[in-house]
């Protein structure tokens, strides 16, 4: 039995699909382009990445072709492809940290936090000591978080401590959200890059999960 001629079937695609049907395919929400691959007898739908599976697009395209009068047995093969879209990061990023002496009696810590293209700077003041560096960095982080969420959520720092485990220095932060006074949040971070940055990461580690309910991303 002779094999069907691929070129004949591909020629038929161009012949049976009307200009209005092609226009309707391009008008499907999420479709960026429609291309006919004549050699293989396929119609390619190039779509935006929002959409999940290809099935809904295929269903809509088949419905358009059937409505255009193409018999079900003669429908060409549909191939749905999605454009790559970089994923938006969903966590607050540390842009910078500084702990400096203002005078002999006071130090100032500042922490720059970035979210959705916006940078907020938190600050904290306190008496000078090596132990105070860690607490000031943690308090400045909480001040920056308050600005990121626009005062909709605040945390109280119950304690922050440097501990040694598995041949590493770690910073442990204990927080309490003001909206849930009975709950406690614990964050831990390795302090290999310094105890100040370790304190910032420990605070973010403790708060990231609850902050997800308060943060929105601009599309």
CATH assignment of 93-211? 3.30.160.270
| Alpha-carbon gap, residue 113 to 101, rounded angstroms | 21
| Cα 88–chain centre separation | 3
Query: Is it the case that residue 85 has pLDDT exceeding 80?
Result: no
What tokens were used for 115? 């979210």
Query: Is it the case that residue 169 has pLDDT exceeding 50?
Result: yes
DSSP string, 79-108: EEEE---PPPP-S-EEEEEEEEEEETTEEE
What tokens were used for 145? 């978080």
Supply the pLDDT for residue 131: 82
Rounded to two decimals, the pTM is 0.58
Q: Which is more confident, 149 or 219?
A: 149
Question: Would you list the domain boundaries of the chain?
Answer: 6-82, 93-211
What tokens were used for 170? 């770690």
Taking alpha carbons only, the member of 94, 92, 75 closest to residue 137 is 94
Query: Is it the case that residue 189 has pLDDT exceeding 80?
Result: yes
CA distances from 69 to 7, 9, 47, 59, 151 (A): 22, 17, 24, 16, 59
Q: Do domains 6-82 and 93-211 have the same CATH topology?
A: no
| Alpha-carbon gap, residue 147 to 177, rounded angstroms | 15
| Alpha-carbon gap, residue 133 to 152, rounded angstroms | 27
Of the candidate ranges 8-17, 161-170, 191-200, the one whose mean pLDDT is the lowest: 8-17
* pLDDT single digits (tens) 29-45: 778 888 877 666 688 88
Place of tokens 């938190």: 122
The architecture (CATH level 2) of 6-82 comes to 2-Layer Sandwich (3.30)
* pLDDT single digits (tens) 98-109: 999 888 889 999
| Alpha-carbon gap, residue 89 to 134, rounded angstroms | 27
What tokens were used for 57? 């697009």
């Amino acid at each position: 039995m002779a094999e069907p001629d691929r070129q004949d079937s591909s020629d038929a695609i161009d012949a049976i699909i009307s200009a209005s049907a092609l226009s309707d395919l391009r008008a499907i929400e999420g479709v960026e382009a429609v291309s006919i691959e004549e050699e293989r007898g396929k119609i390619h739908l190039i779509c935006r990445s929002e959409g999940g599976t290809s099935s809904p697009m295929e269903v809509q395209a088949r419905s358009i072709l059937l409505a255009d009068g193409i018999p079900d047995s003669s429908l060409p093969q549909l191939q749905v492809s999605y454009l790559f879209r970089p994923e938006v990061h969903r966590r607050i990023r540390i842009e910078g940290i500084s702990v400096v002496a203002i005078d002999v009696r006071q130090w100032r810590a500042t922490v720059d936090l970035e979210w959705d293209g916006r940078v907020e700077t938190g600050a904290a003041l306190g008496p000078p000591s090596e132990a105070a560096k860690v607490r000031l960095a943690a308090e400045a982080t909480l001040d920056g978080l308050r600005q990121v969420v626009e005062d909709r959520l605040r945390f109280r720092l119950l304690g922050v401590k440097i501990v040694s485990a598995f041949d590493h220095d770690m910073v442990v932060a204990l927080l309490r959200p003001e909206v849930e006074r009975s709950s406690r949040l614990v964050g831990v971070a390795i302090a290999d890059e310094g105890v100040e940055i370790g304190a910032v990461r420990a605070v973010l580690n403790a708060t990231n999960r609850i902050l997800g309910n308060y943060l929105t991303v601009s599309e």
